Each structure stands twice: as structure tokens, then as C-alpha cells.
Structure 1
Amino acid sequence: MRAYLELARPINCAMAALGVVVGELIAGARLDVGAVLAPVVAAVVCAGGNAINDYFDAEVDAVNRPDRPIPSGRVSPRSARMFALGCFAVGVGMATVINRMCLAIAALNSVLLYLYSWRLKGTPLIGNVMVSYLVGSCFLFGAAVGQRPAPAVWLFLLAFLANLVREILKDLEDVEGDAALGLKTLPIAYGEGVALRVATVFAIALAVLTPLPYLDGVVGWPYLVLALPAAAVILLASVLAVAGSWDAGKAQRVVKVGMLLGLLAFLASLL
């Protein structure tokens, strides 16, 4: 049982569930069966995604992480794959109880998690886009349960852009290791300069879009107090990375701080 828990990565699953709860709060969800089930669905689907990732990474983990459940022999590759598919099936099945939108998101995410681990990890930009969508979709999933989903949909969009910036910076930080694994990430395929400029374009888009939830009337002024500095921090990190003043590792850690500020901004809008 412990090996399967390691395969599922419960901390990651808890973070996915928390993202859904935040989406529900922002979207004004009522405390009903759907609101209770939605975080559980997210955690179960996330567990499947983590397990299928370990299944396809078994050979790499045998060298880099021999203590992981599959290379250590505690879980067979076949059992890990069946566990992942079982998690996807249970998650999608539970989503049918909530509503059609939640069912659609759970089914789509299950397919994308499988495809990402199987074929799309390490592909230039596509992998980054997929991970960023999956991160933001936790808020979208919560929004699908709520009575006023507009604020959480904005949170999904802004979280997608912010995470996209961070994912590209992480690829820049991991160039040496990714190249050794044969991955074709954006900086490996097109050069570090191109990757930095692409990250900055997304950071600019984030900064431009950040005031729109307030201007659209879906959040109040407390949102702006934290959201504008958050966007500025993320843009500054990207610009300083392009200028060479910061390395990619420092820049992506600062972007992470900006993302937390952005999340707090939406929560502040509830006040």
C-alpha cells in the first residue's frame, strides 16, 4: 500500500484538491455533494497522472531515482499502469455525479495526463502549455461547481500564463539534465535566448490581462492591491533573466512568489 501511495504522490494530489477548493470558494459554490466530490476527483485524477508518469519514466528512474516504486521492484510496471488507469476511471466516474462540465474536464485531463507522459513531455512549448493548462484547470474544475464561475475562469487564465512563464524558466534551469535524457524542450530545440524571449512575451500578456477581472466587474478593488504587484514581479523576473542579471533558477523561484501573490489576490476579492 505504501508503494502505491508513493506512486500517487499524495502531496501533489492534496495541492490539486486545494486548487479546486479555491476555485469553488471564488466561484461561490454551495456546500453540497458536488462541492465535496470535486476536490476528491481532482486528487484521484492527479494520482493517476503521477502513476502513469512513473510508468513511462521507469527506465530513467532506474538510473536517477532507483528508490521509486517501479525501479525498486515494489510495484510492477503493469500494476502501476493498471493503478493509473483505475484512478482515471474512478475520477471520471465520480465526476458524472457532479455535472457535465466537471465530467468533461476530468475526462479531458485524464487523457492529457496520459498523452503528456507517453509522448509530449519534453516537446518544445507543447509540454509547457499542457502542464500549465493542467495546473490552471484545478481552478476551472472548482469554477464548474460554483454559482458565479467568472472570477475563477479569470484565475484559470492568469494562472495558465504565469505557470507557462515558470515552466519555460524551469526548462532553462534544467537544460543540461534534459539534454542528457534526450528531451527536446524549448531552450534545447531553439536556444536559450529564444526561450527567454518567449517567456517574457507570456509575462507581458499576463501583465496586460491582470487588471481585466477588475475592469470586467467580477472582482473588487482588494484584488488589484495584490494582483498588480504579482504581475509586476513575474514580468520583472522575466526581464532580468533576459538581461542576464538573474539566472533561470532564481527567476523561476521569484515567479513562484508572484503566482502565490496572484492566488492571494483572488482570495482577497472575497473580502
Structure 2
Amino acid sequence: MNKYLRLFRLQNGVMGFIGLLIAIFIAAGYDMLDQWVNIVIGGVIVVAFVAGGNSLNDYVDAGIDKTAHPDRPVPMGELTARTAMICGYGGLAIAVVLSLFLRRWEATLIVLAAAVMMIGYEIALKQRGFVGNLCIAILTGLVFMFAGGIVGDFSQVWILALLAALVSVGREIAKDIEDEESDKGSRRTLPMMIGDRNAGIVAAVFYVLGPLLSFIPFFTGLFGILYAVVIVADAIFIYCAVLVFSNPHKSEKLAKVAMFVALISFILGVAL
């Protein structure tokens, strides 16, 4: 594969675009077809943003990747760290500039905020444990808010965005518990500061907050009856909250499954 495509992790950008399409459908339903120009621009923004974020990551982690990811273009010597830096800031800048063509100030603000957070995370917050966890969680939620910004309607996506952000905090903490030994000396994570058990309690709280939020549409009538599938996702999230103490790795992986099921429930709730 081309060295730049490997730097950008193009497959992640494609997955991001697919995720954006799903989020836009949740935000606008079948009316999303009326917004096809903005959807195309939004897709390019996501791909540029992902490419920029991954490039910036490879610039910052150039030294670490010599042992952690030796097959990446920078540690292999195919690209210089400076080139990765230029691609990183360039990709994020392109995303921000393109957002102006959406003519939705909310969407532009979201992209700008996400770009600032991405830079802050890579440069400073990644090593700061829980603050970095929160940053990643917010960026996850902003994907869904960006979809709402593209179509000018946040009423269908804000709950999903908040749910995704909350459970992402739980997932990130679970990963930190799992990686505690390997992170020593390079990061100051929550488990290192308060211990594995206390960190597990914090992760469990965030895992449970998501399911609590998911019940709001039942009371507001926001979605159709098939939204009830979200109960399956809620059950998995609650199981993750219990599992995080004994098997944080499995807890983190199952949380991904639960998020996928939750996404399906939102799609069904809008479609039917």
C-alpha cells in the first residue's frame, strides 16, 4: 500500500464516512437525500480529519513507534516525522476550511473544536490519563453532533452523541487498566493514580450512565417502537460495568458490541 495511505490510515477514514452516513440518517431520516451536497462535503471533511489526526499521531509518536509500530511509514524511514507533521496539520486545516462550504455555522464550530481538541490531545493530553480519556470521548460524541450540524437538526442525535461519549470514557478507562504495566513511564493514567479497583468503579459508572440516557426517547416518543432494541445494548453495557473489575479487556471489547447494537436501535427507531 502507498506510504501516504498507510500514514493516513485511509480505511479508518472510510469507516468514519460510513459512520457519518449512519449518523446523518439518524438525524434526518429519509430526508437526508435532500442534503446530498453537504453529505459529500461532510464525507471529505471526515476523511481529511482522520488522515490529519493519524498523521499527527505518527509525528508525535515517531520515537515510540520504532518499537510499538515499526511497520508504519515514519519508523520505517519511508516518510520523515516532519512530513507526517505537515500532513497532520494540513489534514485538520483542510477539514476546517471545507466545513465553511457547508454553510452551517454549527458544523463549522464542531469541526474547529474537534481539530483543536485533536491537536491538544496529541501534543499534551494523551499522556495525562483521565483528561485524555475525556478528550477521546468528546471527540467520539462530536461525530454524531457533526452529523446533526450538517443537516441542521440535533434533536435526533444529541442523546446518541452523549451516550457514545459516556461509554467511551468507560472503554478508555478499561483499556488503561489493561495497559497499566506497559503505560508506566510514558503516561499517568487513572488506574495509576487511584488504583485498579477505584478506576474500575469510575468506568462502571460511565458504562451505566449510557443506558440511563437511552430511556429518554421512550418517554418523549422520539423514535419508533423498534428503538426498543436498545434494551439489548443496555444489558450489555451493564454487563460491561460488572466485567470491568475481572476482565477489563473483554469489557472494553463488549462495549464496542453494545455501541453497535445501540446504533442499530437508533437506525430502526428512525426508519420504522
Q: Pick the TM interval, shorter chain.
A: over 0.9
Structure 2: how far apart are the matches of 1:65 and 1:174?
16
Q: Does 1:63 align with 2:67?
A: yes
Question: How far does residue 204 in structure 1 lie from its aligned partner after superposition?
Answer: 2.1
Q: Does 1:234 align with 2:244?
A: no
Structure 1: how far apart are the matches of 2:148 and 2:235?
26
Structure 1: how far apart are the matches of 2:107 and 2:74?
31
Q: Does 1:192 align with 2:192?
A: no
Are the counterparts in 2 of residues 22 and 139 from structure 1 also a CA contact under 8 Å? no
Question: How far does residue 207 in structure 1 lie from its aligned partner after superposition?
Answer: 2.1
Residue 125 of structure 2: aligned partner: 120
Are the counterparts in 1 of residues 208 and 241 from structure 2 also a CA contact under 8 Å? no
Question: How far does residue 147 in structure 1 lie from its aligned partner after superposition?
Answer: 5.2
Residue 41 of structure 2: aligned partner: 37
Residue 97 of structure 2: aligned partner: 93
Structure 2: how far apart are the matches of 1:158 and 1:204?
10
Q: Does 1:153 align with 2:158?
A: yes
Q: One-letter code of the match for 1:118?
A: I
Q: Which moved more, 1:22-31 or 1:68-77?
A: 22-31
Unaligned runs of 5+ in 1: none
What are the equivalent positions in structure 2 for 1:73-84 lying under 5 Å apart? Answer: 73-84=77-88
**1:130-185 alpha-carbon deviations (Å, 9 max, x no partner):** 11111221111111122542111111111111222111111111112111x52111
Q: Does 1:171 align with 2:176?
A: yes
Q: One-letter code of the match for 1:137?
A: L
Count of aligned positions: 266
Q: Does 1:130 align with 2:135?
A: yes
Structure 2: how far apart are the matches of 1:104 and 1:241?
35
Q: CA RMSD in A?
A: 1.5
Question: How far does residue 32 in structure 1 lie from its aligned partner after superposition?
Answer: 2.8
Percent identity over the alignment? 32
Q: One-letter code of the match for 1:81?
A: M
Pick closer, same or farther for the CA change 1:88–1:147 going to 2, 3 Å: closer
Are the counterparts in 1 of residues 121 and 132 from structure 2 also a CA contact under 8 Å? yes
The runs of 4+ residues in structure 1 deviating greater than 3 Å are: none
